[in-house]
Amino acid sequence: MNMSVQERAFKIHCKVSLGELVSVEIYSKPFMGLLHNQWFCDKILVNTPEGDEILFPCYSWLDSNERLILRPAKASLVFQDINPIAQRQRTRQLEEQQKLFRWRVYAEGTPQVIDYDTALALPAEVRFSFTKETEFNFNAGKQLAALKLTGLADSRRSWESMSQLEVILCENRGKTIEYIQEHWDEDEFFGYQFLNGLNPMLIQRCSKLPENFPVTDDMVKNSLRGSSLEQEMKKGNIFLSDYKMLDGLLGNVVNDRQQYLTAPLVLLYSNPNGMMLPIAIQLKQKPSKENPIFLPTDSKADWKLAKIFVRNAEFGVHEVDFHLLRTHLLAEVFTVATLRNLPPPHPLYKLLFPHIRYTLQINIMARNRLISKDGAITMYAGIGGESLAKLLKRATASLTYSALCLPDNICERGLENVPHYYYRDDGIKLWNIIKKFVAAFLSHYYQCDAHVQKDTELQQWISEIFTNGFLGRDGSGIPSSLQTVTELVKFVTMVIFTASAQHAALNNGQFEFGGWMPNFPSALRKPPPKEKGQTTEDTILETLPDVSTTVNGMAVLRQLSQDSADHYPLGHFPENLHDEEVPCKLIEEFQKDLRELSDLIEERNKNLELPYTYLNPKNVDNSVAI
């Protein structure tokens, strides 16, 4: 696509002053009779005889014979936009937007999505520089070629040894993958991943053992160095990761072979050296003789296999609940609600615009290429197919507002004081920087709570998020209306944090943590062991994914971890939507705060064996764009 950038200046002579400029209308004529001529307009700057410079942002494609009405960059709330022409335009624009951006039920009991079947069919307003080429690159086959693994894509044989797996990584190893390959089966690294791996969201402090997890003092006395579970619980050193959401789900069929899912419980101990260590694993929810509790004192193979089943459960819960639902699908809900209910002059539209870039495109492609009937996840993941739909529904039903607000979530899980929890440390600093910016920005426009209450566009926005995204569930704690500036600031902070920081933390390390397949197996070919002492290294290789599932899984993880085509880190505003002094100054402060956090994280990482980089603002995308 040939895109040349041009600036044109026009002089317009008027006999009398035009007064207040309410809008500018632009119209695209066919060029030399070509009806498919498209034009992308960034912005229009108007210099008045009175010496004012007025910015009219556009950032939209115009097809031939199409008209666009642009409003000045100065933001206004609906009850402040009092010019009758401006009011009519504002209403008409929202009516148009609601025809273009419609909700669609994707699956009963899950958030609604945009009503378009292909990314290229989306309206001009959200097309940006998205092209067929971008869509082609979102293709697992292309990733297989990049990984130089195409020849293995159809092989259904088992891996003969772990060293065979090392060979396929030769071309693709980075420092993190090498570190994981070396340490993946060590207890210290297994425990570390609950805090700083792909899913730092499940672990919680345990003050009372669940009734279905009958761990005794005798079982864990070696791990606790002679102390008792009760004593360590009182000190706040015992933690639990419970995968009960997977209970009763049937494994998918991959390469004509049944796969197996478990719903493990993992007990962990934060030891005096600040390490998080697994001390007991039960692979199914219901205790029984055929569901033993595995311990670090068991045979090496038994304990290794138990941890592999946990890492496979982690694949399902991470990809479906924490990654797909809590970042991708929620970002889509926020995007559709914004495009339907907030017109461009609305300050919240301007604030959220950088955080909705490519979200609709990437989600439509994910539905078409990853989780459709012949999608890569459906074909190669143990959680694919019917189980994925059930898990998504369960996850939606249990989703809460507090789980999406990082400071609340850390408190709820009792993780305020756990050492070496870099996701928490960086995440809370980032949350606070976003909140400071959002609070200053919104309180400039909403000068009292009454302004929030009488902003009908804002109330419609939050109402659609509550109804279409959270399915009207009061138990979710999501507000259905907003009454105060404080409530608004918290909610908008959550929206921006979800689309940027939370997505980066859960998405960007997928290839690094999952490229070494035994650390993050997408499917397992044998059921969990019913007794101890039967597992060998051969059993482990027979349980792990076959060659085809491994390389196809690697291709998907690589595809999901790459930067989007035009990548904008948090704090970058590619579209110039503001010309007022206050928002421009606040944006500069926001960028300065982000740069300072970047420096702090880089300084800290110099002393870490495995640096935690996912929440460094430089590595956080503005939006869910991959």
Q: What is the pLDDT of residues 124-183, one digit of tens each?
A: 778 776 665 566 566 667 788 777 887 888 899 999 999 888 888 766 678 999 999 999
Judge whether 399 and 409 are in contact, CB under 8 Å: no
Distances (CA, A) of 437 to 582, 583, 589: 11, 10, 8
Q: What is the pLDDT of residues 215-259, one digit of tens each?
A: 999 999 999 998 999 999 999 999 999 999 999 999 999 999 999
Q: Residues spanned by CATH 2.60.60.20 within the chain?
A: 1-72
> Is the sign of the CA dihedral 9, 13, 14, 19 positive or negative?
positive
The domain over range 1-72 is classified in CATH as 2.40.160.60: no
Q: Comparing 82-96, 328-342, 474-488, which segment has the lowest mean pLDDT?
A: 82-96
Nearest to 557 by CA among 413, 377, 398: 377
Instruction: Judge whether residue 448 has pLDDT over 70.
Output: yes
> Is the sign of the CA dihedral 599, 604, 607, 609 positive or negative?
negative
Better-scored residue on pLDDT, 376 or 510: 510
DSSP secondary structure letter of residue 468: I
Q: Flag whether the pTM goes above 0.85.
A: yes
Q: What is the pLDDT of residues 564-605, one digit of tens each?
A: 667 799 999 988 899 899 999 999 999 999 999 999 999 999
Nearest to 573 by CA among 360, 359, 361, 351: 351
The residue type of 438 is V
CATH class of 76-200+314-626: mainly alpha
d(CA 439, CA 37): 43
Q: Comparing 7-11, 341-345, 465-469, which segment has the lowest mean pLDDT?
A: 7-11
Joined tokens for residue 48: 């008045």
Joined tokens for residue 474: 């009061």
Mean pLDDT of 506-515: 96
Judge whether 435 and 624 are in contact, CB under 8 Å: no
So what's the pLDDT on residue 137? 63
So what's the pLDDT on residue 36? 60
So what's the pLDDT on residue 125? 79
Instruction: Say what percent of the chain tops pLDDT 90.
Output: 75
d(CA 620, CA 427): 11
Joined tokens for residue 438: 């959002």
Q: Residues spanned by CATH 1.20.245.10 within the chain?
A: 76-200+314-626
